Every structure is written in structure tokens, then in C-alpha cells.
Amino acid sequence: MFAFRLAAAVAALMTAVAVPAAAQPQNAVAPATIYGVWMNPYKSVAVRTGPCGDRLCGWIVWANEEAQNDARDGGTPRLIGTALLENYRAEKPGSWSGTVFVPDMNRRFYSIIQQVGPDQMKVKGCILGGLLCKSQLWHRIADVPHA
């Protein structure tokens, strides 16, 4: 169950949004290609990523019924619109560190995002100061699913 929750949180990070060059942070390390809509490997959550100040964030824009029910059971009453990826700071080209919110646990964990290709990103969530980590490969999607 923890792996599913962590995966859902990571998926929310990767939702696509077009951002004009002027709106990008001045100190951004990676190109705007990290911005967009991303689907988690379970195809249960889609996340739109974009700037939040000088950081990278991601908001849940779609979730299937099971993910929404799990989030409610965990204490997150409204999953759609929830910030899943919070305050990711560029560390090096294609890599960010921040916090991932796991809605069905109602908890935040240290996280690293690595863009491994134009349409793939790896989201890793960690506990115990980074000693135990779980990662997922998210895929860019062209459109938010319907229904």
C-alpha cells in the first residue's frame, strides 16, 4: 500500500503545462521540457508540472476513482488540485530535489526527480533521511484523461 501511495504522489508531480520562456525561473538548470502532464506507472494519477516561484511543483489534474477513494481514506478529501510535488529545487541539469506529498498517507517525504528522457521522468521518494527510497518511472501524456 505504501508503494501505491508513493507512486500516486510522484505521478502528481509530472503534469504538463506550457510556460513561456519569460515565466521560467532565472536560475533554472533544466529546460522547460520538465513542464507538462505526466502519468504515473499505474495509470491512476496525472500531474501537471510547472513553476512555483523559482521552484518546480506539480498538481494532480486527474485521478481514477480508486486513487480518489484511497486519498479520502488517508485524510485528503479532494485529490484533484492537490499539490503532489512541492518546492523542487534544480540540483543539476535534469535533476531536482523537493518534497512529494502522499495523499493516502497524508504525509510528505523527501524526493528527487530526474528527467531521464523527453517523455520520461523518474520520481523517487525517500524516508529515514534518504536511507530507504522507492522510485517510479512516469511518462509524459499529451492530454489529461477523461472520466
Query: Domain of 97: which CATH number?
Result: 2.40.128.520
Asked whether residue 145 is domain-assigned, the answer is: no
How far is the first Cα of the chain from the last one, in angstroms, to the nearest whole number?
24
102 domain-assigned: yes
Residues paired with residue 46 on neighbouring β-strands, in sequence order: 39, 62
| Mean pLDDT computed over 16-20 | 30
Look at residue 135 and tell me if it is in a domain.
yes
- Asked, for residue 49, whether it belongs to a domain, the answer is yes
Name residue, grid cell 500531474.
47
Residue 146 lies in a domain: no
pLDDT of residue 17: 29
Q: Is residue 74 part of a domain?
A: yes
Query: What whole-number distance in Å separates Cα of residue 1 and Cα of residue 142?
Result: 28
Domain total of the chain = 1
pLDDT of residue 43: 96
Q: Helix, strand, or coil here: 14?
A: coil
Which domain covers residue 134, as residue numbers?
A: 2-140
Chain segment 38-54, per-residue pLDDT in tens: 999 999 999 999 999 99
Residue 19 in 3-state DSSP? coil
pLDDT, mean over the chain: 82
Q: Are 136 and 130 in contact (CB under 8 A)?
A: no
Please tell me the pTM assigned to this model: 0.76
Torsion of CA 82, 86, 90, 95, to 10 degrees: -70
96 has a pLDDT exceeding 50: yes
Q: What's the pLDDT tens digit per position in 104-125?
A: 999 999 999 999 999 999 999 9
pLDDT above 60 (res 71): yes
Grade residue 145 by pLDDT with cuts at 50, 70 and 90. Answer: confident
